Amino acid sequence: MSRKHIVAGNWKMNKNLSETQALLTALTEKKNTGDAQVIVAPTAINLHAAVTTLEGSEIKVAAQNMHQAESGAYTGEISASMIDSVGIDTVILGHSERRAYFHEDDALLTEKVNTAIAHGFTVIFCFGEELEDRKNEKHFNVVESQLKNALFHLTAAQWSHIVLAYEPVWAIGTGETASPEQAQEMHAFIRNTVSTSYDTTTADQVSILYGGSVKPGNAKEIFSKPDVDGGLIGGASLKADDFFEIVNAF
């Protein structure tokens, strides 16, 4: 089975309800000329509206985050069952902003991954090194540690629910981008790490996305690399034309 090409838009804390509906409507009017699966992740308060607006479309909706508990006294949080109840089965976990601003560590992310998998969700799992890690040539060690600590307790069968998203933190929202060669080097390392701990079949089937200032101007070159299976797009996903230019880079 060949792995999927995926282009996912992480909208972060942007777009109110009317803006969300307008952007989604604009996206449905665009033509996907390639084979990439398109995913958008609006803010939690607009997830139900997104599902409704995209009904009949091939564009999938993902949540940006979820709590590890099934329910309880966790003011302001959303659970897996809440996400599921509005027709969503995909969640982004481990984003660098969640790690940095909300102090989510590997142990917490393991719990979140387990809850998501228990609900049959697809997890877009984010990980990546800081600039200091790369300067000190610790980037491979950091990435390997983040993967193994949060994901390598899963069975090979459960990996069918995992999409990996490598995001060099120094290239998010900074205008800096890892070169296509740097992206390929890390993606090949990631795939080899999965292969070593599991098997080549599991490694060959997992989609590995690149997330770090992907734009219409650099998407085609980045996506041309053999181990880059798509992108987790931030700012460029907030403009329909830019986002679909990236989608159609395959």
Express the helix, strand and coil content of the chain in percent, nearest 5 each.
45, 15, 40
Tokens at 147, concatenated = 């993967």
Q: CA-to-CA distance for 12 and 41, rounded, in angstroms?
A: 8
Beta-carbon contacts of residue 191 (< 8 Å; ≥ 6 apart): 203, 204, 206, 208, 227
For 221-247, what is each residue's pLDDT tens digit?
999 999 999 999 999 999 999 999 999
Q: CA-to-CA distance for 175 and 28, rounded, in angstroms?
A: 28
Tokens at 97, concatenated = 């902003």
Share the mean pLDDT of the chain: 96
Judge whether 223 and 230 are in contact, CB under 8 Å.
yes
Residue 83's pLDDT is what?
98
- Ranges of residues in the chain with a pLDDT under 70 are 1-2, 173, 175
Determine phi and psi for 98, rounding to 5 degrees.
Answer: -65, -40
Residue 1's pLDDT is what?
45
Judge whether 170 and 130 are in contact, CB under 8 Å.
yes
Question: What's the burial of 198, exposed, middle or buried (CB within 10 Å: 0-12/13-18/19+)?
Answer: middle
Tokens at 128, concatenated = 């990546």
* Catalytic site positions: 95, 167
Residue 171's pLDDT is what?
79
Beta-carbon contacts of residue 166 (< 8 Å; ≥ 6 apart): 127, 128, 143, 183, 186, 187, 190, 208, 209, 210, 211
